Amino acid sequence: MASNISDEAQPMKIVVVGGAVGGVSAALRARRLNEKASIILIEKGHYISYANSGAPCVVGGVIENDTFLIHQTAAGLKSRYNLDDRICEDFDRDLANLVQTELLKNGVQLHLNTSALNIAPGIVDDGCFVTLSNNVNVPADLVVVGTGLTPRIEIAEASQIECKNGIAVNEFMQTSDPDIYAVGEMTGTKGLLFPMTNVLPQGGRGSQQGRIAADHIMERAVPHRGCFATYSCKVLHLTAAIAGISVERLKEIGHYPQFVTVHVPEHAGYYPASHQMTLRLAFQADSGRVLGAQIIGRSGVERRIDVLSTAVQSGMTVFDLEALQLSYAPEYGSAKDPVNIVGMVAGNLLRGDLHLVSTQQLYNYLATSQIIDVRPREDFAKVHVKSAVNIPIDTLRDNLGCIDKQREVIVYSRVGYHSYLAYRTLVQLGYTVSNIDGGLKLLIEGGSGPDLLSCKSS
């Protein structure tokens, strides 16, 4: 809330309701711009500002003392019931399944598509029991209640301030009352790429909005460009990261992008401890403009997602990603960085040098198409698509007579690279061919089609 800045007879009066990241950012920015202003910050909690994103690090023992999270002190539960049958709901379902698999193989039990009804103390010890809606009682020593984010807008509504998926604000963080500003997780702001209003629980966003509000109060018109979600999440040995929104979500809001999925080493394969990361890129079918990205991997994920987030926000295309020149050393990357590779695969798709079918679409091709597995015979014997014929890539040219030119051909390999080589060979010989996006690895680990697979019994 601000008084008229043009009134120089008395100091400007600014009242900030709520601390945390956004409120403190606005108050401090206003002070840096106007030493004479009267600034009052109201916060009902004990701590005016704290790093709430660091709370899991304290519980997990990474940070020993929670006082490290507290930025400022005054002296020196509304839960969301949203049931789902998976974790990582912001990600596409098959990529979320990679994270779910990581949890399961490390002994984490998942109770999905259910909710907690009651937390009761234990009878014998200091533990407790959590009663679920499926009548399962889960014993626990510690219960963490993650309620999600729902903006508390009661005061705004009582003040007749417009609210729409949070408090409605313009590009300068002004509410429907021009003398009242709102910033942070309680505001609903338009997306950077799409006009829908979003509430994003990100500390950096609140800090930026607080600065924008303070600038506008001080007659410095710096508009907010729109919200764009980018975050990384540590899950045991994996990091899951996303920039923008998933392919599934894009389709829900009426956009039907192209997308590619690649599995690439986080750094040079010959350097020790190299692991593959799974990277999915969504982009416009006509222009190639990058719309979003998702990455699951062990290391180097946060660096690539920041590059791709910058690409989205700056309007870059997949062809720009092909040409990016990024830092390279064997312990950090490869001569062709994962960002370059996903751009090249997407570029091949748009140029017509590649045609893909998704793992979900594979069902539609089984009855009429020839499925060819180009992996080595010993790998084929362990697991393969049920109707597939095994023609190893090195023997492909010697077995062209086994492939019917009158029927469409679907090729696949473990991650999609060798099947791409087979694709290029067959297409130039007059065959109609498609490659499976993400290869057999995504088909297995993404959980898209366990009934499609034939596995060797142990």
Q: How far apart, in whole angstroms, are the C-alpha atoms of residue 31 and residue 426?
A: 68
Q: How far apart, in whole angstroms, are the C-alpha atoms of residue 422 and residue 409?
A: 11
Task: Tell me the residue type at 435.
Answer: N
Q: How far apart, in whole angstroms, are the C-alpha atoms of residue 182 and residue 169?
A: 7
Q: How far apart, in whole angstroms, are the C-alpha atoms of residue 455 and residue 458?
A: 9
Q: How far apart, in whole angstroms, are the C-alpha atoms of residue 376 and residue 120?
A: 55
User: Cα–Cα distances in Å, from 71 out to 25, 68, 307?
Assistant: 12, 8, 29
Three-state DSSP state, 274:
coil
Q: Which residues contact 202 (CB under 8 A, 6 or more apart)?
A: 185, 229, 231
**Strand locations in 192-275, DSSP E?**
197-198, 230-235, 238-243, 258-265
Place of tokens 């999905």: 112
Place of tokens 């060798």: 418
Domains plus CATH for the chain?
13-75+160-217 (3.50.50.60), 231-351 (3.50.50.60), 356-455 (3.40.250.10)
Q: Could you give the angle at the alpha carbon of 151 between the alpha carbons of 145 and 156, nearest 5°?
A: 145
Q: Considering all CA atoms of the chain, what is the largest pairwise distance in Å, rounded to the nearest integer?
A: 92
Q: What's the start-to-end Cα distance of the chain, in Å?
A: 69
Per-residue confidence in pLDDT tens, the chain, 458 aa = 554 444 455 678 777 777 666 777 777 777 777 777 777 777 666 555 544 555 555 445 555 554 444 444 444 322 333 345 567 888 999 999 999 999 889 888 888 888 888 888 877 777 888 898 888 888 888 888 877 677 888 889 999 999 988 899 999 999 999 999 988 888 887 888 887 766 666 667 788 888 999 899 888 988 988 888 899 999 999 999 999 989 999 999 899 999 999 999 998 888 888 899 999 999 999 999 999 999 999 999 999 999 999 999 999 999 999 999 999 898 888 889 999 999 999 999 999 999 999 998 998 998 899 999 999 999 999 999 999 999 999 999 999 999 999 999 999 999 999 999 999 999 999 999 999 999 999 999 998 767 889 887 65
Angle between helices 301-313 and 338-351 (to 10 degrees): 50
Q: Which two tokens stand for residue 4?
A: 């008229």
Q: How many CA atoms lie within 13 A of 36 on its CB side?
A: 8
Number of separate helices (H) and strands (E) present in the chain: 12, 22
Predicted model pTM? 0.80
Rg (CA), the chain: 26
